Amino acid sequence: MTAKAYSVAIGMVYLFAPVVATAQQPVAQDSASAVAAARFQQGVELYREGSYEGALAEFRKAYQITPSYRVLYNIAQTQYVLHDFVGAYKSLRQYVAAGGADIPADRRAQVDDMSAKLAERIAHLEISTNVAGADIRVDDVSVGHSPLSEAIPVNVGARKVSATKAGLSEAVRVVTVAGKETVKVDLHMEESQGLASHRTQLPPTGSVIEKSAAPPARPSHLGLVVSLSTTAALAVGTGVFGYLALRAQSDFKNQLNVYPNTRDQVESARTKSKNYGYIADSFGAATILSGGAALYFALTSGGSSQPAKSGKATVVGWAPTVGGMVLQGSF
């Protein structure tokens, strides 16, 4: 422990000693004073151990239980060690205001000297925004709502200043301030992107919306293209399997004329001929259906905006035969 820290801790014990003595008298106020004294002693021990944040919490708790102005001095000393110069300065001012004439002259001189030293390490921010009612924050701690009536005291160094309001994007600035400096910070807030895009889609109140005639829908030729492609593929399949069926039928006839021959070979040739025939017939039926669909799309899609010169429609299609495919139609 440094000599400075030790002297501060001794000062704390001295300051709170009257409260402890009062708690031990037969006519003690109540048990709250004893609890406050225990909290204060715990704060002193934590301070000596270097756990300043814990010490500050205990001192504040003791002051909350028994609001003795003497504890404010201990709070100020701990805030000073934590480099919270603004908090220490406020605690000392509160200590002087509450203690008044009860503060010894030497202690009052010590407090005045410390207050002057703290004032050298405090800056002020004049924060303004382009909207009213925004929550103003310094280092993520709210200091009020816009417009602020006075400058905000802050510790020296880099400070994060922000403004938030529902429906608006957060405005953030980081400024670096020196002691006894006053810095103006202007925070400009805009509509959030989601709300702005929503409003652009809505007409202003009382406006008249002119609706232009919707362009005529252009007919889609996708169905015609798909059906023609499918018909062509099925027609090729019909032709291939039709050719294979004819070959298999010819092989079956040849097997019947072969002598000597076995029954298994004849049945195999017969089965092969029948299977290829069934497949060819299936492809042929599918080709007819697909061709019908192609014809339907050709008649309903209206591929050209110009009227036909003749009332007679041109119909073209593929027709399967046993030996292949035949192109037929009317013109």
Q: Domain with 170 in it: what CATH number?
A: 2.60.40.10
Per-residue b or e along 242-273, where b marks 16 or more CB atoms closer than 10 Å to that residue's CB = bebbbebbeebeebeeeeeeeeeeeeebbebb
Contact 137, 194 (CB under 8 A): no
pLDDT computed for residue 5 by the predictor: 44
For the chain, the domain total comes to 3
What average pLDDT does the segment 168-180 reach?
Answer: 94
> Are 326 and 278 part of one and the same domain?
yes
Is 309 a residue whose pLDDT tops 70? no
Residue 196 has pLDDT above 90, yes or no: no
Q: Does residue 209 sit within a domain?
A: no
Same domain, 11 and 94: yes
170 and 277 in a single domain? The answer is no
In a domain, 210, yes or no: no
81 and 24 housed in the same domain: yes
pLDDT confidence of residue 254: 76
Least confident of 107-111, 249-253, 300-304: 300-304
For residue 109, give the CATH number of its domain.
1.25.40.10
Final residue before a domain boundary, out of 179, 196, 213: 196
For the segment 257-305, what is each residue's pLDDT rounded down to a tens digit? Answer: 776 667 777 778 778 878 878 887 887 788 888 778 777 777 776 544 4
Confirm whether 185 is domain-assigned. yes
> Which range of residues forms the domain containing residue 257?
222-303+311-330
The answer on 33 and 114 residing in a single domain is yes
Residue 9 placed within a domain: yes
39 to each of 34, 76, 189, how far by Cα in Å?
A: 9, 16, 45
Domain end residue (candidates: 87, 119, 151): 119
- Range scoring the smallest mean pLDDT among 171-175, 299-303, 317-321: 317-321
Looking at residue 16, what is its pLDDT? 41
Asked if omega into 320 is within 30° of 0 (cis), the reply is no
pLDDT given for residue 180 in this prediction = 93
Residues 191 and 268 reside in one and the same domain: no
* pLDDT in the model for residue 213: 55
Residues 137 and 50 in one domain: no
170 & 236 share domain? no
The answer to whether residue 181 sits within a structural domain is yes
| 106 vs 232, more confident | 106
* pLDDT tens for each residue of 34-93: 999 999 999 999 999 999 999 999 999 999 999 999 999 999 999 999 999 999 999 999
Token pair in block for residue 89? 């300065």
Q: Are residues 18 and 106 in the same domain?
A: yes
Distance between CA atoms of residues 104 and 106, nearest Å: 6
3-state percent helix, strand, coil for the chain, nearest multiple of 5: 55, 20, 25
Domain boundary among 74, 103, 119: 119
Residues 226 and 160 in one domain: no
Task: Give pLDDT, residue 30.
Answer: 64
Residue 217 lies in a domain: no
**What pLDDT digit, counting tens, does each position of 224-235 carry?**
777 778 888 888
**Which of 162-166, 177-181, 236-240 has the weakest average pLDDT?**
236-240
Residues 51, 113, single domain; the answer is yes
In what helix (H) or strand (E) does residue 177 lie, and over which residues does it extend? Answer: strand 171-177
Residues in the chain: 331
Pick from 175, 178, 183, 184: nearest CA to 120: 178
Tell me how many helices (H) and strands (E) the chain has. Answer: 9, 9
For residues 97 and 172, state if they share a domain.
no
What residues are paired with 321 via a beta bridge? 324
pLDDT score recorded for residue 234: 80
Q: Would you say residue 84 lies in a domain?
A: yes
Question: What is d(CA 110, CA 35) in angstroms, rounded to the nearest whole number?
Answer: 29
Q: Edge-to-edge strands of the sheet including 157-164?
A: 141-145, 135-138, 157-164, 171-177
Let me know if residue 127 belongs to a domain: yes
